[in-house]
Structure 1
Amino acid sequence: MDMRIFTSVLLLLALGAYFFPVENLKKNVLEKDLPLVIFEKPIMYTLNEENVNRMVVSSHAVKYQDRDEMFNADIILKNNDKSKDFNLEKLKADTIVKKGDIYTLTNNVNYKRDNFIQLDTDELIYDDIKKTAQNSKPFKGVYNKHTLNGNSVFLDINSDFITAKNTHFEIDVTKTQKGKK
Protein backbone atom coordinates (compact mmCIF):
# COMPACT_ATOMS: atom_id res chain seq x y z
CA MET A 1 0.00 0.00 0.00
CA ASP A 2 2.82 2.42 0.84
CA MET A 3 4.43 1.71 -2.51
CA ARG A 4 1.22 2.72 -4.35
CA ILE A 5 1.00 6.01 -2.46
CA PHE A 6 4.68 6.74 -3.14
CA THR A 7 4.36 6.07 -6.90
CA SER A 8 1.11 8.07 -7.07
CA VAL A 9 2.78 11.07 -5.40
CA LEU A 10 5.74 10.77 -7.80
CA LEU A 11 3.34 10.62 -10.76
CA LEU A 12 1.48 13.73 -9.56
CA LEU A 13 4.75 15.61 -9.03
CA ALA A 14 5.96 14.62 -12.50
CA LEU A 15 2.69 15.78 -14.10
CA GLY A 16 2.82 19.03 -12.13
CA ALA A 17 6.42 19.67 -13.17
CA TYR A 18 5.53 18.96 -16.80
CA PHE A 19 2.83 21.64 -16.92
CA PHE A 20 4.60 24.17 -14.69
CA PRO A 21 6.17 26.98 -16.83
CA VAL A 22 9.95 27.35 -16.59
CA GLU A 23 11.91 30.39 -17.78
CA ASN A 24 14.99 29.78 -19.84
CA LEU A 25 17.84 31.75 -18.24
CA LYS A 26 20.16 31.27 -21.24
CA LYS A 27 17.64 33.03 -23.48
CA ASN A 28 17.79 36.16 -21.30
CA VAL A 29 21.59 36.26 -21.53
CA LEU A 30 21.43 36.05 -25.35
CA GLU A 31 18.85 38.85 -25.56
CA LYS A 32 21.33 41.37 -24.15
CA ASP A 33 22.88 43.76 -26.64
CA LEU A 34 26.34 42.26 -27.04
CA PRO A 35 28.81 43.52 -29.63
CA LEU A 36 29.69 41.23 -32.50
CA VAL A 37 33.10 42.83 -33.21
CA ILE A 38 35.18 45.55 -31.53
CA PHE A 39 37.86 47.42 -33.49
CA GLU A 40 40.59 49.65 -32.06
CA LYS A 41 41.85 52.53 -34.23
CA PRO A 42 40.05 51.35 -37.37
CA ILE A 43 40.36 52.99 -40.79
CA MET A 44 37.72 52.01 -43.34
CA TYR A 45 37.78 52.87 -47.03
CA THR A 46 34.83 52.57 -49.40
CA LEU A 47 35.88 52.21 -53.02
CA ASN A 48 34.17 52.42 -56.39
CA GLU A 49 35.56 51.80 -59.90
CA GLU A 50 37.25 55.21 -60.06
CA ASN A 51 38.36 56.29 -56.60
CA VAL A 52 37.81 56.26 -52.83
CA ASN A 53 34.25 57.38 -51.95
CA ARG A 54 34.41 57.41 -48.18
CA MET A 55 37.00 57.18 -45.46
CA VAL A 56 36.13 56.55 -41.80
CA VAL A 57 38.73 56.96 -39.05
CA SER A 58 37.94 56.48 -35.36
CA SER A 59 39.57 55.60 -32.08
CA HIS A 60 37.15 52.68 -31.45
CA ALA A 61 34.37 51.06 -33.44
CA VAL A 62 31.83 48.53 -32.20
CA LYS A 63 29.59 46.49 -34.50
CA TYR A 64 26.28 45.27 -33.11
CA GLN A 65 23.58 43.21 -34.77
CA ASP A 66 21.57 46.28 -35.84
CA ARG A 67 24.03 49.20 -35.72
CA ASP A 68 27.63 50.38 -35.75
CA GLU A 69 29.03 52.75 -33.11
CA MET A 70 32.18 54.81 -33.65
CA PHE A 71 33.94 56.95 -31.07
CA ASN A 72 36.07 60.07 -31.81
CA ALA A 73 35.28 59.51 -35.46
CA ASP A 74 35.91 61.39 -38.70
CA ILE A 75 34.01 60.58 -41.89
CA ILE A 76 35.30 62.01 -45.15
CA LEU A 77 32.90 61.80 -48.12
CA LYS A 78 34.25 62.53 -51.57
CA ASN A 79 31.97 64.13 -54.17
CA ASN A 80 31.48 61.86 -57.19
CA ASP A 81 28.82 64.02 -58.87
CA LYS A 82 30.52 66.11 -61.56
CA SER A 83 27.62 68.62 -61.58
CA LYS A 84 28.36 69.64 -57.96
CA ASP A 85 31.07 72.21 -57.26
CA PHE A 86 32.60 70.81 -54.07
CA ASN A 87 35.24 68.19 -53.38
CA LEU A 88 34.80 66.86 -49.83
CA GLU A 89 32.36 66.70 -46.96
CA LYS A 90 33.72 66.02 -43.50
CA LEU A 91 31.69 64.80 -40.53
CA LYS A 92 33.33 64.70 -37.12
CA ALA A 93 31.89 63.82 -33.70
CA ASP A 94 32.71 62.20 -30.38
CA THR A 95 30.09 59.48 -31.02
CA ILE A 96 28.59 58.32 -34.31
CA VAL A 97 25.89 55.65 -34.46
CA LYS A 98 25.13 54.22 -37.91
CA LYS A 99 21.86 52.36 -38.50
CA GLY A 100 21.47 51.45 -42.15
CA ASP A 101 22.28 54.64 -44.07
CA ILE A 102 21.45 57.03 -41.20
CA TYR A 103 24.34 58.47 -39.18
CA THR A 104 23.49 60.00 -35.78
CA LEU A 105 26.34 62.20 -34.62
CA THR A 106 26.44 63.43 -31.01
CA ASN A 107 28.76 65.57 -28.87
CA ASN A 108 31.13 68.09 -30.49
CA VAL A 109 29.71 67.59 -33.97
CA ASN A 110 31.37 69.37 -36.86
CA TYR A 111 30.09 69.28 -40.46
CA LYS A 112 32.24 70.88 -43.13
CA ARG A 113 31.93 71.07 -46.92
CA ASP A 114 35.14 72.32 -48.51
CA ASN A 115 35.67 75.88 -47.27
CA PHE A 116 32.20 77.33 -47.70
CA ILE A 117 29.89 75.51 -45.23
CA GLN A 118 30.70 74.65 -41.64
CA LEU A 119 28.29 73.69 -38.82
CA ASP A 120 29.16 73.12 -35.16
CA THR A 121 26.49 71.58 -32.92
CA ASP A 122 25.89 68.80 -30.37
CA GLU A 123 23.65 66.65 -32.57
CA LEU A 124 23.33 65.97 -36.28
CA ILE A 125 21.43 63.31 -38.20
CA TYR A 126 22.92 62.62 -41.63
CA ASP A 127 21.09 60.55 -44.26
CA ASP A 128 23.61 59.10 -46.70
CA ILE A 129 20.99 58.13 -49.31
CA LYS A 130 18.95 61.36 -49.38
CA LYS A 131 22.08 63.46 -48.68
CA THR A 132 20.40 65.52 -45.96
CA ALA A 133 21.61 66.68 -42.56
CA GLN A 134 19.37 67.93 -39.77
CA ASN A 135 19.35 68.57 -36.07
CA SER A 136 17.12 69.94 -33.32
CA LYS A 137 19.77 71.54 -31.10
CA PRO A 138 21.44 74.97 -31.25
CA PHE A 139 24.17 75.34 -33.83
CA LYS A 140 26.81 77.77 -35.04
CA GLY A 141 27.72 77.89 -38.67
CA VAL A 142 29.64 79.63 -41.40
CA TYR A 143 28.36 79.93 -44.97
CA ASN A 144 30.71 81.64 -47.44
CA LYS A 145 32.36 83.64 -44.60
CA HIS A 146 28.94 84.71 -43.24
CA THR A 147 28.02 83.57 -39.72
CA LEU A 148 24.81 81.70 -39.02
CA ASN A 149 23.43 80.74 -35.58
CA GLY A 150 20.12 79.10 -34.74
CA ASN A 151 18.16 76.45 -32.86
CA SER A 152 17.71 73.78 -35.52
CA VAL A 153 18.92 73.31 -39.07
CA PHE A 154 18.03 71.27 -42.16
CA LEU A 155 20.57 71.01 -44.96
CA ASP A 156 19.75 69.41 -48.33
CA ILE A 157 23.12 68.70 -49.88
CA ASN A 158 21.74 67.83 -53.34
CA SER A 159 20.03 71.19 -53.85
CA ASP A 160 22.28 73.31 -51.56
CA PHE A 161 19.20 74.29 -49.54
CA ILE A 162 19.52 75.36 -45.89
CA THR A 163 16.65 76.11 -43.55
CA ALA A 164 16.92 76.96 -39.85
CA LYS A 165 14.73 78.11 -36.95
CA ASN A 166 15.36 81.15 -34.72
CA THR A 167 18.26 82.16 -36.90
CA HIS A 168 20.76 84.97 -36.56
CA PHE A 169 22.58 85.52 -39.85
CA GLU A 170 25.44 88.02 -40.18
CA ILE A 171 26.49 88.96 -43.69
CA ASP A 172 30.05 90.16 -44.31
CA VAL A 173 29.57 93.14 -46.65
CA THR A 174 33.17 94.31 -46.84
CA LYS A 175 34.14 94.72 -50.48
CA THR A 176 37.51 93.49 -51.57
CA GLN A 177 39.47 94.44 -54.61
CA LYS A 178 41.61 91.91 -56.26
CA GLY A 179 44.24 91.08 -53.64
CA LYS A 180 43.27 93.96 -51.26
CA LYS A 181 40.92 94.31 -48.31
Structure 2
Amino acid sequence: MVIRAFVLILLVLSVTSYFIPVENVIKKDNEVETPLLVFNDSTMYTLTTDSMNRIVYAKEVYRFEKRDVMHEGALTLKNFDSKNNYVTDVLYSDIIVKREDIYKFFKNVRFKREDFISLNTDELFYNAKEEIVTNTLPFNGNYYNNTIKGDNLYLDMKSYFMKSNNTHFEIDMKNK
Protein backbone atom coordinates (compact mmCIF):
# COMPACT_ATOMS: atom_id res chain seq x y z
CA MET A 1 0.00 0.00 0.00
CA VAL A 2 2.80 2.43 0.85
CA ILE A 3 4.58 1.52 -2.37
CA ARG A 4 1.43 2.24 -4.41
CA ALA A 5 1.07 5.64 -2.74
CA PHE A 6 4.73 6.41 -3.38
CA VAL A 7 4.50 5.43 -7.08
CA LEU A 8 1.25 7.42 -7.43
CA ILE A 9 2.89 10.52 -5.89
CA LEU A 10 5.89 10.12 -8.25
CA LEU A 11 3.54 9.82 -11.22
CA VAL A 12 1.60 12.96 -10.23
CA LEU A 13 4.81 14.92 -9.64
CA SER A 14 6.31 13.87 -12.98
CA VAL A 15 3.14 14.73 -14.92
CA THR A 16 2.79 18.17 -13.28
CA SER A 17 6.49 18.97 -13.72
CA TYR A 18 6.23 18.08 -17.41
CA PHE A 19 3.64 20.82 -18.01
CA ILE A 20 5.36 23.57 -15.98
CA PRO A 21 7.08 25.98 -18.43
CA VAL A 22 10.81 26.39 -18.01
CA GLU A 23 12.43 29.68 -19.01
CA ASN A 24 15.93 29.58 -20.32
CA VAL A 25 17.30 32.80 -18.84
CA ILE A 26 20.50 34.00 -20.48
CA LYS A 27 21.98 37.15 -19.06
CA LYS A 28 23.28 39.27 -21.90
CA ASP A 29 25.35 41.40 -19.52
CA ASN A 30 27.65 38.48 -18.83
CA GLU A 31 28.25 37.75 -22.52
CA VAL A 32 31.45 39.22 -23.85
CA GLU A 33 31.68 39.36 -27.61
CA THR A 34 35.00 38.12 -28.86
CA PRO A 35 36.51 39.70 -31.96
CA LEU A 36 36.78 37.70 -35.16
CA LEU A 37 40.07 39.36 -36.15
CA VAL A 38 42.58 41.58 -34.35
CA PHE A 39 45.10 43.80 -36.18
CA ASN A 40 47.95 45.90 -34.79
CA ASP A 41 49.29 48.97 -36.63
CA SER A 42 46.95 48.45 -39.55
CA THR A 43 46.22 50.52 -42.63
CA MET A 44 43.15 50.02 -44.82
CA TYR A 45 42.78 51.57 -48.28
CA THR A 46 39.55 52.10 -50.21
CA LEU A 47 40.26 51.99 -53.91
CA THR A 48 38.03 53.07 -56.76
CA THR A 49 38.61 52.83 -60.49
CA ASP A 50 39.81 56.44 -60.51
CA SER A 51 41.84 56.78 -57.34
CA MET A 52 42.35 55.93 -53.70
CA ASN A 53 39.85 58.04 -51.77
CA ARG A 54 39.89 56.70 -48.20
CA ILE A 55 42.68 55.58 -45.86
CA VAL A 56 42.05 54.29 -42.34
CA TYR A 57 44.98 53.90 -39.98
CA ALA A 58 44.72 52.52 -36.44
CA LYS A 59 47.05 51.22 -33.71
CA GLU A 60 44.60 48.42 -32.84
CA VAL A 61 41.62 47.13 -34.83
CA TYR A 62 39.06 44.66 -33.52
CA ARG A 63 36.74 43.25 -36.16
CA PHE A 64 33.46 41.91 -34.79
CA GLU A 65 30.57 40.38 -36.69
CA LYS A 66 28.70 43.65 -37.31
CA ARG A 67 31.22 46.37 -36.43
CA ASP A 68 34.88 47.35 -36.34
CA VAL A 69 36.43 49.04 -33.30
CA MET A 70 39.67 50.95 -33.79
CA HIS A 71 41.91 52.60 -31.20
CA GLU A 72 44.13 55.63 -31.84
CA GLY A 73 43.12 55.91 -35.45
CA ALA A 74 42.79 58.32 -38.31
CA LEU A 75 40.54 58.46 -41.36
CA THR A 76 41.97 60.29 -44.36
CA LEU A 77 39.55 61.34 -47.11
CA LYS A 78 40.78 62.53 -50.49
CA ASN A 79 38.23 64.40 -52.62
CA PHE A 80 37.69 67.33 -54.88
CA ASP A 81 36.05 70.49 -53.53
CA SER A 82 33.43 72.63 -55.28
CA LYS A 83 36.15 74.39 -57.33
CA ASN A 84 37.50 71.00 -58.45
CA ASN A 85 40.65 71.39 -56.35
CA TYR A 86 42.15 68.34 -54.67
CA VAL A 87 41.63 68.44 -50.86
CA THR A 88 42.52 66.10 -48.03
CA ASP A 89 40.38 65.76 -44.90
CA VAL A 90 41.74 63.94 -41.86
CA LEU A 91 39.71 62.80 -38.83
CA TYR A 92 41.76 61.73 -35.79
CA SER A 93 40.29 60.00 -32.74
CA ASP A 94 41.13 57.78 -29.77
CA ILE A 95 38.24 55.41 -30.53
CA ILE A 96 36.57 54.78 -33.91
CA VAL A 97 33.55 52.49 -34.31
CA LYS A 98 32.54 51.58 -37.87
CA ARG A 99 29.20 49.98 -38.74
CA GLU A 100 28.57 49.65 -42.47
CA ASP A 101 29.10 53.19 -43.85
CA ILE A 102 28.86 55.02 -40.51
CA TYR A 103 32.05 55.98 -38.67
CA LYS A 104 31.69 57.12 -35.04
CA PHE A 105 34.63 58.96 -33.52
CA PHE A 106 34.94 59.30 -29.74
CA LYS A 107 37.44 60.97 -27.35
CA ASN A 108 39.82 63.70 -28.55
CA VAL A 109 38.35 63.97 -32.03
CA ARG A 110 40.13 66.33 -34.42
CA PHE A 111 38.97 67.21 -37.92
CA LYS A 112 41.42 68.91 -40.26
CA ARG A 113 40.96 70.06 -43.86
CA GLU A 114 44.24 70.98 -45.52
CA ASP A 115 45.76 73.88 -43.58
CA PHE A 116 42.77 76.20 -43.28
CA ILE A 117 40.23 74.52 -40.98
CA SER A 118 40.56 72.40 -37.87
CA LEU A 119 37.88 71.37 -35.39
CA ASN A 120 38.16 69.71 -31.96
CA THR A 121 35.37 67.86 -30.13
CA ASP A 122 34.71 64.67 -28.16
CA GLU A 123 32.38 62.98 -30.65
CA LEU A 124 31.86 63.05 -34.39
CA PHE A 125 29.78 60.94 -36.78
CA TYR A 126 30.75 60.51 -40.43
CA ASN A 127 28.39 58.97 -42.98
CA ALA A 128 30.65 57.75 -45.80
CA LYS A 129 27.78 57.13 -48.20
CA GLU A 130 26.31 60.64 -47.96
CA GLU A 131 29.62 62.31 -46.98
CA ILE A 132 28.12 64.18 -44.03
CA VAL A 133 29.81 64.91 -40.69
CA THR A 134 27.66 65.60 -37.59
CA ASN A 135 28.02 65.76 -33.84
CA THR A 136 25.89 66.57 -30.80
CA LEU A 137 28.54 68.00 -28.45
CA PRO A 138 30.26 71.39 -28.35
CA PHE A 139 33.23 71.93 -30.62
CA ASN A 140 35.93 74.53 -31.13
CA GLY A 141 38.42 75.14 -33.85
CA ASN A 142 40.09 77.46 -36.32
CA TYR A 143 39.06 78.67 -39.75
CA TYR A 144 42.18 80.15 -41.33
CA ASN A 145 43.41 82.27 -38.36
CA ASN A 146 39.93 82.88 -36.96
CA THR A 147 38.37 81.07 -33.98
CA ILE A 148 35.05 79.22 -34.17
CA LYS A 149 33.01 77.59 -31.38
CA GLY A 150 29.56 76.02 -31.42
CA ASP A 151 27.24 73.08 -30.75
CA ASN A 152 25.67 70.40 -32.98
CA LEU A 153 27.91 70.55 -36.02
CA TYR A 154 26.58 69.65 -39.49
CA LEU A 155 29.14 69.56 -42.30
CA ASP A 156 28.38 68.44 -45.86
CA MET A 157 31.68 67.31 -47.37
CA LYS A 158 30.40 67.44 -50.97
CA SER A 159 29.23 71.05 -51.05
CA TYR A 160 31.23 72.04 -47.95
CA PHE A 161 28.14 73.52 -46.32
CA MET A 162 28.61 73.94 -42.57
CA LYS A 163 26.15 74.91 -39.86
CA SER A 164 25.88 74.62 -36.08
CA ASN A 165 23.93 75.91 -33.12
CA ASN A 166 25.16 78.63 -30.72
CA THR A 167 28.04 79.50 -33.04
CA HIS A 168 30.65 82.01 -31.92
CA PHE A 169 33.06 83.18 -34.60
CA GLU A 170 35.97 85.51 -33.72
CA ILE A 171 37.77 87.22 -36.57
CA ASP A 172 41.46 87.90 -36.04
CA MET A 173 41.94 91.53 -37.12
CA LYS A 174 45.71 91.54 -36.52
CA ASN A 175 46.51 89.30 -39.50
CA LYS A 176 45.09 90.79 -42.67
Do these two structures clear the TM 0.5 threshold for a shared fold by scoring above it? yes
Distance across 2 between alignment mates of 1:30 and 1:120: 33
Contact 2:152/2:165 (<8 A) preserved: yes
1:36 aligns with 2:35: yes
Q: Residues 29 and 167 (structure 1 numbering): CA distance in 2 closer, same or farther, change over 3 Å?
A: closer
CA positional deviation for 1:169:
1.4
Structure 1 stretch 165-174 or stretch 116-125: which is displaced more? 165-174
Q: Residues 88 and 29 (structure 1 numbering): CA distance in 2 closer, same or farther, change over 3 Å?
A: same
Contact 1:38/1:60 (<8 A) preserved: no
Normalised to the residue count of structure 2, the TM-score between the two structures is 0.83
Q: Residues 168 and 37 (structure 1 numbering): CA distance in 2 closer, same or farther, change over 3 Å?
A: same
Identical aligned pairs, as a percentage?
37
Normalised to the residue count of structure 1, the TM-score between the two structures is 0.81
Unaligned runs of 5+ in 2: none
Distance across 1 between alignment mates of 2:90 and 2:146: 19
Unaligned runs of 5+ in 1: 176-181
Contact 1:86/1:113 (<8 A) preserved: no
1:10 aligns with 2:21: no
Contact 1:86/1:114 (<8 A) preserved: no
Contact 1:94/1:109 (<8 A) preserved: yes
Distance across 1 between alignment mates of 2:126 and 2:171: 27
Distance across 1 between alignment mates of 2:152 and 2:139: 7
1:45 aligns with 2:45: yes
Q: Match of 1:110?
A: 110
4+ long deviations beyond 4 Å? 27-31, 80-83
Q: Residues 69 and 168 (structure 1 numbering): CA distance in 2 closer, same or farther, change over 3 Å?
A: same
Q: Match of 1:156?
A: 156
